[in-house]
Each structure stands twice: as C-alpha cells, then as structure tokens.
C-alpha cells in the first residue's frame, strides 16, 4: 500500500552498528524535518544489529521485515518506495546495506556497493585516487593479529612523527589519535583497533582544513561553497565535530583560485568514483615550493563522507544555505532522481 494520498513513502534509515549510532539518529531527525511532507510520507527506520524498527507517528515502533523492508501501522502495511540512508558507519556507509537494497530492488540515496565499500576503507581509497593524480598523505595499514609485521622503526621511517592513527574502516572520529612520541604509538593503534580490524597510520600534514559537498542528478550538478574548519582541539576529533569546539566558516577564507580548485577537485572525484547522492570531501591544504622557489597551495584529500551529517548545524546544510539553495528542494531532487 502506497503512502497517504499517493505520496511516495520514504524510509529515513539510521542507527547502525558503529559508535556514531546516536549521531545518525540526529541526522535522521534533521532529514525528517527538512523533507517535503506535501510530496512524501517519511518514516524514520532505526537499525541496531538485527533489530530493525520503524518509528511510528504515535510514538510506538513497528518491526521492519527484512524480506521487503515493510512494516505494519495499524491495519496498514507500509511499503517504502525509497531509502534515504543516513547511517554513519556500518552497515550504511560501507556497501552492506546498499547490497541489501539492491537485492530487494529498492532505490536509495547513496552511491552503490563498490563506491561505498571503497570510500569506507580510507587506505584503499587513497591508493586508488593516487592513480588519478589526487594528492593524499603517506600512510600504511596495521591489521589486527598482524600488528608486529610493521615495526615502530618502519613507521618512523615511512610516516614520521607526529602522525595520525585512525580506524581504517569507519565513518567516525572515534578512535583517532594524534601521536607525537613513539611511546604513544602502540596504545593509539590499540585504541583504533576497538573501532576497526584495520588501522591506518597517516603522516601529519600541517595546513588549512577545508570541506566541500557535492551532489549530481539528471537535473544538474551542484558543488557547494567550501567550509573552513578551525578546531580549538589538537585536531578535528569527535569533541570538535559534535560538541562545538570548532569554528566552521562558510564560505572559507581562501582565495578565489583555491576555492575554484577545491570545488573542481570535488566534482572530479565525484565523477571518477561515479558517486550518487550527497557526498562531502575533507581536505588539508599545505604549502609546497615549486621549481621557481615560490610557495603554492597543494590540496590533499583526507577522506570522503558518503552519508554526511544532516543536522541543521552540520556542514552540508550550512553549505546548502550558503549556496542559497533550499535543503527541502535538494532532498526532493535526490529522491526523485532515483524514483
């Protein structure tokens, strides 16, 4: 049974099994508030392990069938027409949920299985995009059970200090440490292992942190204004991201040339990967000397977020407002592009 008054039913899929479960719920609330209720009938669907539940308007919850993603609301069986995935981390940001929706033939908001799996694995993504000339930091991977295969000396030689130690597969800032001394290295790796079986050790790059969102549909391409991220913490960690210990300046205080280059690179990466829906790419801009001795800006990609935060204060809604677009219209365009 379709939505009321023949409205398309949109399942806003949130939760998941990572440390950002509750953050995902906040993004779902944001999307629910933004979505055009005159056009769509949205329901928040929360996934926690094998517990899948739809949040009903009367405050109760209904079990969601894993066979076709339907659920009961009174005498009505609700069959969603579209899944708007806003899970940060597994299973919504690594291709697992996308594969499920492909199997049951339900359109969804994000990129497909391959893109999601690759962007979720930071090291794999970096190595892939390096082949297209994208600048990334030097890094290596330490795997659970094989921690001793890479010695501290090898890390010092190839990566140096300070460095970042972070979960290789993950959509959050949990488990990330800025390591300044050798004795901090192994505890940092152990901390990151709590979030992921693979840990990436990444060279520190001093510079200006920027982030830029983008989405493309049959109706057109939109690359949003660039945001400058100025954290009051050691780096842009969980506290900075969600507890306000950061200044987020949109549009960024950068030259028009650098802005244009960041936006062009964001658009190019979107096309290289054949992304879908809204993505956000994080960068660090460093200074390098050319052959003529003059300093130039080098744009280094940090990571790609394929299910970026969607609360009213998140980067994407900020950038949408700065672009003088309506977030309601943006969501409508993304949903209707797939229906």
pLDDT per residue over 7-51, tens digit each?
A: 999 999 999 998 889 999 999 999 999 999 999 999 999 999 999
- As a whole number of angstroms, the distance between CA 169 and CA 122 comes to 6
Most confident of 42-46, 181-185, 229-233: 42-46
pLDDT digits (tens, 9 = 90+) for 133-150: 999 988 999 999 888 888
79 Cβ neighbours under 8 A, 6+ residues apart: 1, 2, 9, 68, 69, 70
Q: The tokens of 129 are what? A: 């995009």
How confident is the model over 260-287, as a mean pLDDT?
Answer: 97
Confidence at residue 173, expressed as pLDDT on a 0 to 100 scale: 65
Query: Which residue has better confidence, 16 or 3?
Result: 16
Could you tell me the pTM of the whole model? 0.90
Task: Read off the pLDDT of residues 241-264 as tens digits, 9 standing for 90 and up.
Answer: 545 568 899 999 999 999 999 999
Q: Which residues of 28-51 are buried (b: 16+ CB within 10 A; e: fewer)?
A: bbbbbebbeeeebbbbbbbbeeee
Provide mean pLDDT across the span 218-247: 75
- CA 300 to chain centroid, in Å, comes to 17
Round the average pLDDT of the chain to a whole number and report it.
92
Residue 169, pLDDT score: 80
* pLDDT class of 4 with cuts at 50, 70, 90: low
pLDDT on residue 2: 52
The full DSSP string for 250-284 is SS-SS-HHHHHHHHHHHHHHHHHHT--S-EEEEEE
Q: Which pLDDT band, with edges at 50, 70 and 90, does 312 fall under?
A: confident
pLDDT at 337: 96
Residue length of the chain: 339
Residue 196 has pLDDT above 90, yes or no: no
């Amino acid at each position: 049974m379709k939505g009321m008054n023949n409205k398309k039913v949109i399942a806003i899929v949130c939760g998941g099994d990572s440390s950002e479960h509750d953050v995902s719920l906040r993004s779902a609330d944001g999307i629910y508030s933004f979505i055009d209720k005159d056009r769509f009938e949205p329901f928040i669907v929360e996934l926690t392990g094998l517990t899948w539940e739809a949040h009903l308007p009367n405050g109760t919850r209904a079990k969601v069938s894993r066979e076709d993603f339907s659920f009961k609301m009174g005498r009505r069986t609700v069959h969603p027409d579209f899944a708007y995935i806003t899970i940060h981390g597994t299973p919504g940001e690594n291709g697992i949920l996308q594969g499920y929706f492909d199997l049951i033939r339900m359109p969804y908001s994000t990129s497909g299985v391959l893109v999601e799996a690759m962007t979720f694995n930071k090291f794999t993504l970096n190595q892939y995009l390096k082949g297209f000339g994208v600048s990334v930091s030097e890094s290596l991977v330490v795997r659970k059970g094989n921690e001793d295969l890479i010695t501290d000396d090898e890390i010092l030689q190839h990566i140096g200090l300070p460095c970042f130690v972070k979960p290789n597969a993950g959509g959050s800032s949990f488990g990330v440490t800025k390591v300044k001394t050798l004795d901090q290295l192994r505890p940092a790796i152990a901390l990151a292992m709590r979030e992921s079986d693979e840990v990436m050790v990444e060279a520190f790059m001093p510079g200006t942190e920027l982030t830029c969102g983008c989405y493309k549909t049959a109706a057109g391409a939109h690359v949003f204004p660039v945001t400058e991220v100025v954290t009051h913490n050691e780096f842009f960690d969980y506290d900075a991201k969600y507890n306000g210990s950061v200044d987020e300046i949109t549009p960024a205080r950068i030259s028009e040339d650098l802005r244009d280059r960041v936006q062009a690179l964001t658009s190019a990466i979107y096309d290289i990967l054949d992304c879908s829906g809204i993505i956000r790419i994080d960068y660090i801009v460093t200074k390098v000397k050319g052959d003529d001795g003059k300093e130039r800006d080098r744009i280094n990609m940090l990571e790609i977020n394929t299910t970026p935060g969607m609360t009213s204060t998140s980067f994407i809604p900020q950038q949408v407002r700065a672009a003088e677009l309506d977030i309601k219209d943006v969501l409508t365009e993304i949903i209707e592009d797939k229906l």
